[in-house]
Structure 1
Amino acid sequence: MKKMIKIALAALVMLTMSATTLSADPAKGQKLYLKKLKGACGMNGAKMAAKHSQMEWEAVKGDLAKEIKNICPKAKDSALKDKYLQHYFDFFYEYANDSGNVPSC
């Protein structure tokens, strides 16, 4: 019985840690924006995120790369890879014009 409980707890810990690692992060999105998009967009992250409200960012989430291209036509396709989009979204959503949050970039 003790062995089964230990296995279950170990599995639970591993599952929680992997879910946390796989989730996107506004801070990572901010770093990516500064590194990959700030120069092409010509604006800081606060201005970029404030282009839309949280609901508007949710509405364009499926076409986020297209929306970023509309706002920043100079953005390179390499900066809009699928692996970056979730982080960008979390950053933009967290600091949208109706969120009350202001990023430090």
Structure 2
Amino acid sequence: MTKFVKIALAAALALGVTATTAQADSRKGQKIFIKKLKSPCGMNGDKFAAKHSQDEWKEIKDSGNFENEIIKICPKVKKGSIKKSWQGHLFDFAYEYANDSGNVPSC
């Protein structure tokens, strides 16, 4: 019985760790925006995120047009230059600081 409990606890711990790292993060999105998109966009993160409301950002992401919307807002950004691994973080950043959120980023 104790062997089973140890295996169950180890599995739960492993699952908890992998689930946490798989989630997107608005702070990471802000760092990615500052490092990779601020210059080509020619605007700060607050102006970028405020281009849409939270519902609009969610609709854009759900329709699969998030990268295209970034390119539309920032014409100097080229198709394919936004890595898939960045998109979740960038979405969380845009959603967190959308024009109807009341939040203002520090970038």
Aligned residues: 105
Please say if 1:39 is aligned against 2:39.
Answer: yes
Q: What CA distance in whole angstroms lies between the structure 2 residues aligned with 1:76 and 1:36?
A: 12
Structure 2 length-normalised TM: 0.93
Please say if 1:81 is aligned against 2:86.
Answer: no
> Which residue number in structure 2 is paired with residue 4 of structure 1?
4
> Which residue number in structure 1 is paired with residue 27 of structure 2?
27
Structure 1: unaligned runs, 5 residues or longer: none
Moved more, 51-60 or 74-83: 74-83
Q: What CA distance in whole angstroms lies between the structure 2 residues aligned with 1:67 and 1:77?
A: 11
**In percent, how many aligned pairs have the same letter?**
60
CA shift at 1:104, angstroms?
0.8
Runs of at least 4 residues of structure 1 off by over 4 A?
none
Q: What CA distance in whole angstroms lies between the structure 2 residues aligned with 1:81 and 1:17?
A: 23
Q: What CA distance in whole angstroms lies between the structure 2 residues aligned with 1:76 and 1:27?
A: 23
Structure number with the higher helix fraction is 1
- The 8 Å contact of residues 36 and 79 in structure 1, kept in 2 or not, is answered as no
2:92 partner letter: D
Please say if 1:91 is aligned against 2:93.
Answer: yes
Root mean square deviation, CA, Å: 1.0
2:83 partner letter: K
1:20-49 deviations in Å (ceiling 9; x for gaps): 011111000000000110001111001100
SS state of the match for residue 96, structure 1?
coil
In the alignment, which of 63, 70, 77 is matched to residue 72 of structure 2?
A: 70
SS state of the match for residue 65, structure 2?
helix
